[in-house]
Amino acid sequence: MTDLVRVENLTKHFPVKTGFFQRAKQFVYAVDDISFSIREGETFGLAGESGCGKSTVARLIARLIIPTAGAIKFMGKDIVNIPDAEFKTSRRHIQLIFQDPFASLNPRRSVRQIVTQPFIIHENPSRKDTESKAIQLLESVGLCPPELFLDRHPHELSGGQKQRVVIGRAIALRPKLVLADEPVSALDMSVRTQILNLMRGLQERYMLTTLFISHDLAVLRSMANKIAIMYLGKLVEMGSVDQIFSNPMHPYTRALLSATPIPNPRLAKRRSRIILRGDVPSPINPPKGCRFHTRCPFARDDCKQEPAPILVDHDHEHLVACLYTEYVKRQLGNG
């Protein structure tokens, strides 16, 4: 498989004004020099605590915001600095599924208007074709019979039905890449499985490539092929699903996994819980050295002074950013 998306040294610093008449002298280091690639047909999971920069990565790839530095290559073309008119041809191939279906749908528009808007903007079909496309789209996301939903407005739909409309709008143009930003976190537990099964089926049917963002590693385990772990704007570990779950190497990854619920009570009792002390540092003033050292139980003096290395391959594309990977691995064992 070839790379559909390649992110190289991607950086985004948001300026922060300290006073009404003062220029920005501080920055929020939301995304700080990260690199990864997503292959065609792959689901790439991005995990981490709230505020680590996951959603900013999706917004940068969709070019809703412009990076401070770095490159985003989509289908071999760097889309960071191309003119808006030229990017419009790529826009139809990059679509988003937002976290909150309540906020991502225009309350004044009907379902018909929402799901047909992509066709009107990019294809300008006839009215008859638009109606046919809308019906097929609603059927594909499980809103049946579609005639019952076409003229409804968002406030007349349940949370799960709203998210189905959002998903339908995202896949309307058969995009190459779908950016799913916490697509089930705002839904009831009873609805999450239905939506995840829907997304999995659509991906197989239309061969979609997906960046799936979630703080829930259990969700990523069922959806993703590869997972990257993000902490305070940096990637700390990346590998296949099996590598991340069977052999996590970074202590932050271990801590996240230890907080993931296990259905089997016997296995849950055997697993030791890793509790991180302290709060996540401010992204305006990140710690010197390794950004995780203030909460890492294995931090040494070097960690407080030297930044963690860029992701290093330790085992067949299992990448880790830690000065003392082997030491941490021995301390944690293989469990």
Do residues 210 and 177 touch, judged by C-beta distance below 8 A?
Answer: yes
Specify if 275 maps to a domain.
Answer: yes
Question: How many domains would you assign to the chain?
Answer: 1
> How does 67-102 read in b/e, with b if 16+ C-beta sit within 10 Å?
bbebebbbbeeebbeeeeeebeebbbbbbbbbbbbe
> What's the confidence (pLDDT) of residue 188?
86
Specify if 128 maps to a domain.
Answer: no
Q: Going by DSSP bridges, is the β-strand pair 312-313/234-240 parallel, antiparallel, or unpaired?
A: unpaired
> What's the confidence (pLDDT) of residue 268?
45
- Which residue range(s) make up the domain with 327? 243-335
CA atoms of 135 and 70, how far apart (whole Å): 41
Specify if 91 maps to a domain.
Answer: no
CB-hemisphere CA count at 13 Å for 124? Answer: 0
> What's the confidence (pLDDT) of residue 222?
92
Specify if 225 maps to a domain.
Answer: no
Specify if 257 maps to a domain.
Answer: yes
Do residues 110 and 117 touch, judged by C-beta distance below 8 A?
Answer: no
3-state secondary structure the chain: CCEEEEEEEEEEEEEECCCCCCCCCEEEEEEEEEEEEEECCCEEEEECCCCCCHHHHHHHHCCCCCCCEEEEEECCEECCCCCHHHHHHHHCCEEEECCCHHHHCCCCCCHHHHHHHHHHHHCCCCHHHHHHHHHHHHHHCCCCCHHHCCCCCHHHCCHHHHHHHHHHHHHCCCCCEEEEECCCCCCCHHHHHHHHHHHHHHHHHHCCEEEEECCCHHHHHHHCCEEEEEECCEEEEEEEHHHHHHCCCCHHHHHHHHCCCCCCHHHHHHCCCCCCCCCCCCCCCCCCCCCCCCCCCCCCHHHHHCCCCCCEECCCCCEECCCCHHHHHHHHCCC
Structure tokens at 164: 């189905």
> What's the confidence (pLDDT) of residue 23?
67
Distance of CA 262 to the CA centre of its chain: 23
Specify if 309 maps to a domain.
Answer: yes
Q: State which residues of the chain have pLDDT below 70.
A: 1, 19-24, 261-273, 331-335
| Best CA proximity match to 63, nearest among 49, 75, 80, 48 | 80
Do residues 185 and 6 touch, judged by C-beta distance below 8 A?
Answer: no
> What's the confidence (pLDDT) of residue 272?
65
> What's the confidence (pLDDT) of residue 264?
52
Specify if 286 maps to a domain.
Answer: yes
Specify if 279 maps to a domain.
Answer: yes
